[in-house]
Every structure is written in structure tokens, then in C-alpha cells.
Amino acid sequence: MAVIEGEAIVLRAVDYGESDLIAHLLLPDVGRMTVVAKHARKSQKRFPGSLDLFNHLRVRVSRKKLSGLGFLEQAALISPFIPLRENPVRYALASYLIELMDRMAPEDGARADTRRLFDFALSALGALTVEFPDPRLRLFFELRAFDALGLRPGLANCVRCGAEPRTGQVGFHVADGGIICEAHGTDGRAGIVTVHLGTLRALAKSLDSEIGQLGRLQLSTQAIEEAQEILFRFHRFHLGFELKSERFLEESLSGGRLTAATP
């Protein structure tokens, strides 16, 4: 029997059987973990209001083996991130982030990766409770999540030869995970997205900014559209699915598309 004690974020919770819940948790040293919370829907004592989405918890989980399904023994609420539940755009962004984590986080992944991902998710949820809920944050969150998982796109130099791009536009090679110079971008344009250097600079800046500062980054409408295209293709290539909350987010924003925030 292995026991894990520490922090967790609730990524998902569904009813199971008569009185149990099955939850997906994000744990700093494990990654994503599926746990059964026995009698969670009957006993308010053991898990008092703690298994709601986004909740930051302190948990005790036991597992019969070193990997696989866990049993939630205890859960205490550290933070419910209340403001995320009170504003539709905040809620949509937090749902997007949490779904991203649920899909991307490895189960029993490398500890350095899972810890980076957990720290990112926690600080992003925290930032969302105080920052102006700017829909552009979704792009930055997605980029930062890839970065935390070691899938940082190459934005400054050609991924094949290291050359720095000089012209105003450059190709982003989705499968190679970064930009490619003219010399390497001539063999077939399939899988290549054309972007302006300004877009790449803005995205690079978002990778190096504090999470709480992301909402202050300037992005032109053109940069938003290009960044969306890169991330959409990058996401599809690496993960191969569309997030449910993506549509919900689009619908909760006026006009359906991400637009530049009005200052």
C-alpha cells in the first residue's frame, strides 16, 4: 500500500455508483491521478465540499500499487478560488485551463515535469481570480502549459540550423515544433504556418513573464490570429483533440472569436 500526502487540484469529478465520486486530481509529484472518493456524496464529514472543480486541496491518497487508481482517504480545502465561479469569462478560462491539464498531464510522469505543471496550474488559477479576465489569456495559458511539459515551441531560431530570421514573416513548422528559416522552409509548405516576427516576439515574451503579468501583454489582432493558428495546429499535432471548454469559451465571448482587449 502506497500513501501519498500533499496538495492537489480537482480537474474533474463525476458521480459513481450510489454514493461515491470518481475524481481526477493533479498532484505535484504524480501528475494526473484518478481517485475514488468512497461515500463522498453521503459523508460531508470526510470531504466537506472539497471535490468541486478548480479546488486546491490537501489530500491523503492510498494506492494498492505504486501506480494506477487511488483511494481518497482525506481531503481538506486550501482554496476554492471563489472568484472563478462568479464571472462567466473567468469560469470559462479556468475550465479551459483545467481541461487542458486533465488532457495533458501525464499519469505518474517525471517528477520535474509534473511539479512544473502543478505549479503552473496553481499560479494560473490564482492569477485568474485577480486579473482582468482577458480571453487572450487562453493563448498564453496554452503556451505555458506546453512549456511546462517540455514542449516549448522554438520561437527565436530556425529549429533545423539555428539561424535567426531577419524578414518580417517566417514559417512555423508544426511538426518540428518551431520556426524554420527560408533555406529550410522551401521543401513543401504543408504543415507550415506563416507568422510575423512581432507575433513570435510577443509569444516569447509571454513565456518569460510572471503569470500574473500575462494580462498586461500587448497583442495586435493580427498577432492574436496568428498565435491562435499556431497553437491550434500545435495542439492538434501533439494532443490530437479539441477541448470541450474551447467551444464554451468561444461562446461566452462576444462575437465568438478572441478579440484584443480594450484598454
Residues that bind Zn ion (CB under 5 A): 158, 160-161, 163, 181, 184
Q: What is the DSSP letter of 176?
A: T
Rounded Cα distance between 127 and 130, Å, is 6
Which residue, 10 or 170, has its beta carbon nearer to Zn ion? 170
Considering beta carbons, is residue 117 or 179 the nearer one to Zn ion? 179
Instruction: For the chain, list the strands marked E by DSSP.
Output: 2-16, 20-27, 31-37, 56-63, 70-79, 169-173, 178-180, 192-196
Alpha carbon distance 165, 171 (integer Å) = 10
Side chain identity at residue 140, one-letter code = F
As measured in angstroms, the least distance from the Cβ of 183 to Zn ion is 5
Q: Minimum Å distance from CB 188 to Zn ion?
A: 15
Separation of alpha carbons 239 and 249, rounded Å: 19
Between 200 and 214, whose beta carbon lies closer to Zn ion? Answer: 200
The C-alpha atoms of residue 257 and residue 255 are separated, in whole angstroms, by 6
Q: Is the CB of 68 or the CB of 162 nearer to Zn ion?
A: 162
Q: How far is the CB of 173 from Zn ion (least distance, A)?
A: 10
Nearest-approach distance from CB 185 to Zn ion, in angstroms: 8
